[in-house]
Amino acid sequence: MIDTHCHLDACDDPVDDLVARAHDAGVGRMLAIGMNPISCEHALQAAHEHEEVFVSIGHHPHESAGFDQHSLAELVAFADRPKVQAIGETGLDYHRDYAPRGDQVRAFEFQMELAQQLHMPLVIHTRDATEDTFALLEKSAGGVPVVLHCFSAADWVDECIERGYYCSFAGNVTYPQAGALRKAAERVPDELLLVETDAPFLAPQEFRGKPNEPAYVRSTAAFLAELRGQTYEQLESAVGSNAEWIFRW
């Protein structure tokens, strides 16, 4: 199985332990996400030390205040490092508004342009901003794969399928109250499906109350397979093929 989105820098346990437990659980690869320059460096170091770890570099919407040409230059330098396979996470978050919306949009637009220049996929965060996020993606993200991380746009699932966006489901799809999200997960075709942990956040129901970690992606994957009427092996094959094509690892 693949964990297509984790924040190793935010986990309490050492990366060595997290990777070892993931390996023992049958998780062969994981994408460590950069949200700012510090977490990008952490992810790159983890990738340097562990063959299972790859990297996506970006400025999270919460980290986009004051984003400028210097910020972009940092991302360009990061993108030239080994095992960087994607740009993001980037996008819009109107729920918290930790950064001015104008800065969020500017950072998002710069990162979409960078992804196009480098022919890299985009890892997208959107919360309470789906309409604006999708409008900007339609305008500026043509020609690169788009991954909707921690998929939450249940009302937009048909639009996602039509646009060919990859829908990555995290542990919250397993929660009892997530009926709309589960219905969306049933609709996503195999060729657009991904699974993630978003570790250390959103542990699946089986591990609810514990910090999430890459090893737990198998729990979410098993839940999704049963929900979708598939064997675990069928879902694992689909997710693995999708990740291989998107991230080219």
Least confident of 94-98, 110-114, 129-133: 94-98
pLDDT band at 97 (very low <50, low <70, confident <90, very high): confident
pTM for the model: 0.96
* pLDDT 10s digits, 196-240: 999 999 999 999 999 999 999 999 999 999 999 999 999 999 999
Q: To the nearest 10°, report the CA torsion of 195, 175, 225, 188.
A: -60
Distance CA 180, CA 154 (A): 6
Q: How many independent structural domains does the chain possess?
A: 1
Residue 131, SS3 per DSSP: helix
Q: Please list the residues that pair with 219 across neighbouring strands.
A: none
Name the residue range of residue 69's domain.
Answer: 2-247
* Cis amide bond preceding 82, omega within 30: no
CATH of the domain at 175: 3.20.20.140
The mean per-residue pLDDT over the stretch 12-37 comes to: 97
Please report, rounded to a whole number, the percentage of residues in the chain having pLDDT higher than 90: 99
Q: Which two tokens stand for residue 173?
A: 């799809």
pLDDT value at residue 153: 95
pLDDT value at residue 96: 86
Distance CA 79, CA 48 (A): 14
Q: Quick one: how far is CA 15 from the chain centroid?
A: 18
Distance CA 178, CA 142 (A): 31
pLDDT value at residue 50: 98
Strand ranges, E, within the chain: 2-6, 29-33, 53-57, 84-93, 122-127, 146-148, 166-169, 193-195
Unique residue bearing structure tokens 């210097």: 70
pLDDT score of 161 more than 90: yes
pLDDT score of 9 more than 90: yes
Give Cβ neighbours of residue 11 (< 8 Å, ≥ 6 apart).
Answer: 18, 199, 200, 211, 213
The mean per-residue pLDDT over the stretch 56-63 comes to: 96
